[in-house]
C-alpha cells in the first residue's frame, strides 16, 4: 500500500486528497492541516463577517467527519516543519506535541498563501486586521463584537476589499475604501472601475483612489490612517487587504528554486522539480492557458483543479492541468463584476494586437419585467479575430457569472469572436435574447473592428 | 446594384435582410411581410397575454422605422404568391391591390411555420384558438376581454402550452393542460416532466397526461373537450398548441422537393437546390451539429443564425451554418427548464452508447442566503466519454439558461464530460461553487459511469 501525504487542508489539499483516494482507494492518505479548519470556504469570510452567514461552521465545504469517512487521515493543528526529499520524510509538529518524522511515497504541497503585509508603520497594532484565514476572521468578528466600531477603513479595493465594504455596510458601519490604483477593482478595466466606484458611493461607501497609505497611528480613541498625496482619515477598524503571496518556505528549504512572486514552479502534471513531490494551489506558479506560460494567479477554483490533477498523478494517474483563464467574479452590493482571459495590456505583453470594445444591452428582452443592463467588454485580436478576453458588469441577478463562463468556454477553445455568434445558445424572453448579450457584444466587436474605429 | 428579395419579416427574414445590408450596403433589399408586424417577438406572445407586457407594441424587436433606416424596403401586408426561378421573379400581392411581379437577383425564403391544426372535430369553433402570430394573439386577447372566460383548457404541454398555463393563471383563470404524452414537456426526460407536473399543480394548474383529445363541442355556455381513454372537461377557452409545421408551399410550387416534415432542404450555406434562392428559419430543414444530419427544429435562435448566413451568402459572402444543438429554455412559474444536445433515444438513434445521469445540487454555496436547488441530467457516451447532451431544471433565478449555455459551448466543441471539469469557470459564493454545478454534475456522471452503475 502506497502512502500519500498532503500538506494543507484548504482547496488544493482537499482536492488532492479526495481525488487520490477516489482514483486509488488502496492508497493511504494523510492530510496535514496547520489549523483546526480543514476545507473551509475562505471566500465565504466576508459573508460571515457581514452577518449573512450567522454561524461560521456553515463555511465548511465538508465536515471533518465527511473527509474522514472518505478514508483520509486528517491531522489538525499540525504543521510541516521540513521536507527531506532524499529520505522521503516530512518533519511535522502537532500543537503541544514533540516534532516527529513521517514518511511519504508521494507528497503534495498545498501550503497556500498569506496576505501581503505592506511595510506601513503601525500596521501591526490593535484594530488593524488582515483577512485570509478562519483565525483572521475570528479576530475581526471578535473586535466587531467587543469594540463595536462605527467606522471602518479598508486598504485595497480588490475583490476582498470590495466584498468587505459591502459586508461592513451590511452591518451598518461607515466604510471608506482606499486604493492605490487610479480606479477600484484594478483587475478589470478602469472604465468599469469608475462605474463600480459610483455604485460604492451610491451604497454609502467613501472611496479614495490614487492614495498610497503610509502610516497608521492612534489618535485619541481613533486609528488615524494617512497617506500621499494628501490623505488622512480617522477610523475605528482597519482592514489591510492588498493581495496575497505564496507560502513556499517549506518548498524552498527542501531544495526547490522559487519562481514568480516566490511561488513554487510546477509542470502541468503539478510535479515540482523534486522527485515524488507535487504542489498545487495558491503556493504554486499557475500555467495560464492563453499565455502558454506560468503566472501567479491564486484562486480557489484553480487550486481545486490543480489539487485534483496533483492527487490523481500522485497515485499513478496521467492528468494534466489545462491552465487558468483568469476567470473571476465578485458580487458587490447589487452588482456582479466578472472577467476572463486577457485585458489589453496583458494581451500586448503576450504579443497580440488587442482591441477592447464595450457594449451595453439588457440581460433579457426589455419587454419582460425586471430587465437589467449588462455591460460587456470584449477584447479580441485585430489581426486574427481571436477572442482574448471578456469583462462584464451588471446586476447580480443578471447571470453575469454564468455569461462570463460562456466566454471562458470560448477562450478554452481559442475561438474567434465571430465564432461566438455561431453557437446555439438558449433563449426565452424572461432570461435572454434571440442573440444572447454575449453574442450581441461579439457582433458589436466585429462591427467596430471591421469599421476600423477604436473601442 | 444587385437586388435581394426576402420573403418573410420574422426572425430569419429580418436577420437575412439586415445582415445582407450590413455586409454589402450597396445591395437593394426588399422585405415582404405578409402581415403588418415585421420583426415581432413571437416568443413574447404569452407574456403579452398574461398582462406582463401591457402593450403589444413592446413586442417589436425593432420598430419599422429602425428597419427602414437600415436601408431596407419593407412591404407590409404583402404576400408572395409564386416564385419563378427561371425568370428570377416573384409574384406578390399587397392587400387590396392587384398582383405584381418583382425581379430578384437573389432570393431568401423565410416563410416560417404555422401551428399544426390537429384533426379534432370542433377545433374551428369560436373560443378555440391557436397561438403563433400577432393576429392569433389579438384574437385570444379580444376573447379574454369580451368573453371574460374563467376557465381555460390548453391542448399540448410543450413550451408554449406551459408558458400559456402560467400566463392564464397570472390572469386568474382556472387552467387545465392536456398532453398526449405520458409526461408534460416531452422535449425533456419524463424524470423532469413529472417534477414539472408537480410544479404546475402547486400553482393551481390541473394536468392530464396520456390523453388524446378527440372532440370539442358546445355544451350549454361551455366548450366541452373530450378524449380517450376517458377524459371530459368543460371550459370557456381552448388553446391548441401542439407544435408547428413549415410553410413551404411557395417553395414547392417553385420546384423544390420538400424534406423532413415538409420543410425545405438547404445546404449549410442555406442555399436551396434552385439557383440564387436561399431559405432559412422555421420553413427549412435544420442541420444538427451533433447528428451531422438535417432535422426539423424550428426555433427563433436558429432562424436568426440561419438568416444571417443566408443574407451574407446572398450578397457574396462565404458563411456556413454551424448547426443547431437543440438548445432550448422555458420559464414556467418559478422554474426554468432547459436542454441542449441529445437525449438517450436521440443518441441511440445516432449510434451512440448514451448514459444519462442525474445530479442535484445548489446553484450557489448553500451558506449564502437564497440558494436554490438545481437538477442537472447529463447524457454522455459510455464508450468515448463524449458529452452528448444536458438537461437542467431549477429556479428561474438560478442561471439555468446560462448554465445550459456552458454545456452548449461544450457540445459545440465535442468535449468529453471529463474535459468539462478542466475549464476555468467563475466562482463567488453568492453565485456559484468552486466547482460549478455543471462541473459537479459532470464529475458525478464520471463516477457513476466508472463504477458501472446505471443512471
* 3-class SS letters over chain B: CCEEEEECCCHHHHHHHHHHHHHCCCCEEEEECCCCCCCECHHHHHHHHCCCCCCHHHHECCCHHHHHHCCEEEECCEEEEEEECCCCEEEEEECCCCCEEEECCEEEECCCEEECCCCCCCCCCCCEECCCCHHHHHHHHHHHHHHCCCEEEEECCCHHHHHHHHHHHHCCCEEEEEECCCCCCCCCCHHHHHHHHHHHHHCCEEEEECCEEEEEEEECCEEEEEEECCEEEEECEEEECCCEEECCHHHHHCCCCCCHHHCECCCCCCECCCCCEEECCCCECEEECCCCEEECCCCHHHHHHHHHHHHHHHCCCCCCCCCECCCEEEEECCEEEEEEECCHHHHHHCCCCEEEEEEEEECCCCCCCCCCEEEEEEEEECCCCEEEEEEEEEECCCCHHHHHHHHHHHHHCCCEHHHHCCCCCCCCCCCCCCCCHHHHHHHHHHHHHHHCCCC
When the pLDDT of each residue in chain B is averaged and rounded to a whole number, the result is 96
Measured in angstroms, the CA of A60 and the nearest CA of chain B are apart by 9
Q: For residue A129, is pLDDT > 90? A: yes
The string of pLDDT tens digits covering residues A412-430 is: 999 999 999 999 999 999 9
Percentage of chain B with pLDDT > 70?
Answer: 99
Do residues B406 and A402 touch, judged by C-beta distance below 8 A? yes
Give the confidence band of A186 by pLDDT, cuts at 50, 70, 90.
very high
Nearest to B424 among A327, A336, A431 (CB): A327
Alpha-carbon gap: B369 to the closest alpha carbon of chain A (Å) = 7
Residue A455 has pLDDT above 80, yes or no: no
Q: Is the pLDDT of residue B125 over 50?
A: yes
CB contact under 8 A, B408 and A425: yes
Interatomic CA distance for residues B224 and B209, integer angstroms: 18
The mean pLDDT value for B351-374 works out to 97
| Residues in B touching A424 (Cβ below 8 Å) | 289, 301-302, 305, 322-327, 340, 408, 412
**Residues from chain A contacting residue B301 (CB–CB below 8 Å):** 424-427, 434-435
User: Do B442 and B420 form a contact (C-beta atoms < 8 A)?
Assistant: yes
- Which residues, listed in sequence order, are joined to residue B161 by a DSSP beta bridge? none
The residue among A401, A369, A351, A380 whose CA lies nearest residue A445 is: A380
| Distance (Å) from the alpha carbon of A224 to chain B's nearest alpha carbon | 32
- Which residues in chain B touch residue A367, judged by CB atoms under 8 angstroms apart? 41, 44, 47, 53, 58-59
- The verdict on ipTM greater than 0.85 is yes
8 Å CB contact of A322 and B435: no
Chain A residues with CB under 8 Å of B63 CB are: none
Whole-number average pLDDT of chain A? 96
A329-368 pLDDT, tens digit each: 999 999 999 999 999 999 999 999 999 999 999 999 999 9
User: What pLDDT, on a 0 to 100 scale, did the predictor assign at position B452?
Assistant: 80
For A57, which DSSP code? G
CB B197 within 8 A of CB B185: no
Rounded to an integer, what distance in angstroms lies between the CA atom of residue B273 and that of residue B258? Answer: 10
User: Which residue is it, cell 482574448?
Assistant: A388
Mean pLDDT for B221-234 is 96
Interface touch B405/A436, C-beta < 8 Å: yes
Is the pLDDT score of B93 beyond 90? yes
pTM of the predicted model as reported, rounded to 2 decimal places = 0.97
pLDDT of residue A172: 97
CA angle, corner B190, sides to B184 and B196, nearest 5?
A: 50
Contacts of B22 in chain A (CB under 8 A): 447
Mean pLDDT, residues B177-204: 98
Measured CA to CA, the distance from residue B39 to residue B64 in angstroms comes to 8
Contact B289 A424 (CB under 8 A): yes
> What pLDDT shows up at residue B455?
46
Model pLDDT, residue A454 = 52
Q: Is the pLDDT of residue A296 over 50?
A: yes
Please answer yes or no on whether B327 and A425 come within 8 Å at the CB atom: yes
Q: What percent of chain A has pLDDT over 90?
A: 98
Reply yes or no on whether the pLDDT at B454 is more than 90.
Answer: no
Domains belonging to chain A, first-starting first, are 3-113+245-314 (3.50.50.60), 128-242 (3.50.50.60), 328-450 (3.50.50.60)
Calculate mean pLDDT across residues A33-37. Answer: 95
Unique residue bearing C-alpha cell 448579450: A437
Please write the tens of the pLDDT for every residue from A79-124.
999 999 999 999 999 999 999 999 999 999 999 999 999 999 999 9
Model confidence over A135-170: pLDDT tens digits? 999 999 999 999 999 999 999 999 999 999 999 999
Q: How far is CA A236 from the centre of its chain?
A: 27
Neighbours of A63 (CB within 10 A): 12
Given this model, what pLDDT does residue A442 score? Answer: 98
Strands A72-75 and A28-32: parallel
Share of chain B above pLDDT 90, in %: 98
Which of B61, B299, B431 has its CB closest to that of A401?
B431
Query: Which residues does chain B have within 8 Å of residue A306's beta carbon, measured at their own beta carbons?
Result: none
Amino acid at each position: 500500500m502506497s502512502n500519500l501525504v498532503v500538506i494543507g487542508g484548504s482547496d488544493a489539499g482537499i482536492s488532492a486528497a479526495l481525488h487520490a483516494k477516489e482514483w486509488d482507494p488502496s492508497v493511504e492518505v494523510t492530510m496535514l492541516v496547520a489549523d483546526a479548519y480543514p476545507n473551509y470556504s475562505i471566500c465565504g469570510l466576508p459573508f460571515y463577517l457581514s452577518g449573512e452567514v450567522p454561524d461560521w461552521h456553515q463555511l465548511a465545504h465538508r465536515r471533518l467527519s465527511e473527509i474522514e469517512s472518505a478514508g483520509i487521515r486528517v491531522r489538525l493543528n499540525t504543521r510541516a516543519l521540513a521536507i527531506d526529499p532524499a529520505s522521503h520524510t516530512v518533519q511535522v509538529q502537532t500543537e503541544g506535541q514533540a516534532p516527529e518524522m513521517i514518511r511519504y511515497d508521494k507528497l503534495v504541497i498545498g501550503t497556500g498563501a498569506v496576505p501581503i503585509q505592506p511595510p506601513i508603520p503601525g500596521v501591526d497594532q490593535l484594530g488593524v486586521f488582515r483577512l485570509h484565514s478562519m483565525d483572521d476572521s475570528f479576530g475581526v468578528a471578535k473586535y466587531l463584537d467587543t469594540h463595536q466600531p462605527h467606522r471602518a477603513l479598508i486598504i485595497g479595493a480588490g475583490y476582498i476589499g470590495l466584498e468587505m465594504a459591502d459586508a461592513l455596510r451590511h452591518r451598518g458601519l461607515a466604510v471608506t475604501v482606499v486604493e492605490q490604483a487610479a480606479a477600484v477593482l484594478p483587475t478589470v478595466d478602469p472604465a468599469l472601475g469608475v462605474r463600480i466606484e459610483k455604485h460604492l458611493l451610491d451604497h454609502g461607501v467613501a472611496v479614495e483612489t490614487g492614495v498610497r497609505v503610509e502610516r497608521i497611528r492612534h489618535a485619541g480613541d481613533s486609528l488615524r490612517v494617512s497617506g500621499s498625496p494628501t490623505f488622512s482619515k480617522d477610523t475605528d477598524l482597519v482592514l489591510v487587504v492588498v493581495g496575497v503571496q505564496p507560502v513556499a518556505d517549506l518548498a524552498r528549504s527542501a531544495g526547490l528554486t522559487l519562481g514568480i512572486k516566490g511561488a513554487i514552479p510546477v509542470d502541468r502534471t503539478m510535479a515540482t522539480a523534486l522527485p515524488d513531490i507535487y504542489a498545487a494551489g495558491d503556493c504554486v506558479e499557475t500555467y495560464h492557458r492563453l499565455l502558454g506560460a506560468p503566472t501567479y494567479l491564486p484562486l480557489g477554483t484553480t487550486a481545486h483543479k490543480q489539487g485534483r490533477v496533483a492527487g490523481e498523478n500522485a497515485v499513478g494517474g496521467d492528468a494534466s492541468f489545462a491552465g487558468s483563464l483568469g476567470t473571476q467574479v465578485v458580487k458587490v452590493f447589487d452588482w456582479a463584476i466578472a472577467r476572463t482571459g486577457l485585458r489589453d495590456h496583458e494581451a500586448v505583453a503576450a504579443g497580440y494586437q488587442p482591441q477592447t470594445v464595450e457594449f451595453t444591452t439588457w440581460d433579457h428582452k426589455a419587454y419582460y419585467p425586471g430587465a437589467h443592463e449588462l455591460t460587456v467588454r470584449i477584447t479580441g485580436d485585430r489581426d486574427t479575430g481571436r477572442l482574448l478576453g471578456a469583462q462584464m458588469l451588471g446586476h447580480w441577478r443578471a447571470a453575469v457569472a454564468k455569461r462570463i463562463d460562456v466566454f471562458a468556454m470560448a477562450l478554452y477553445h481559442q475561438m474567434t469572436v465571430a465564432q461566438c455568434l455561431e453557437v446555439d445558445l438558449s433563449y426565452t424572453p424572461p432570461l435572454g435574447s434571440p442573440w444572447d448579450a454575449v453574442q450581441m457584444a461579439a457582433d458589436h466587436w466585429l462591427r467596430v473592428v471591421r469599421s476600423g474605429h477604436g473601442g
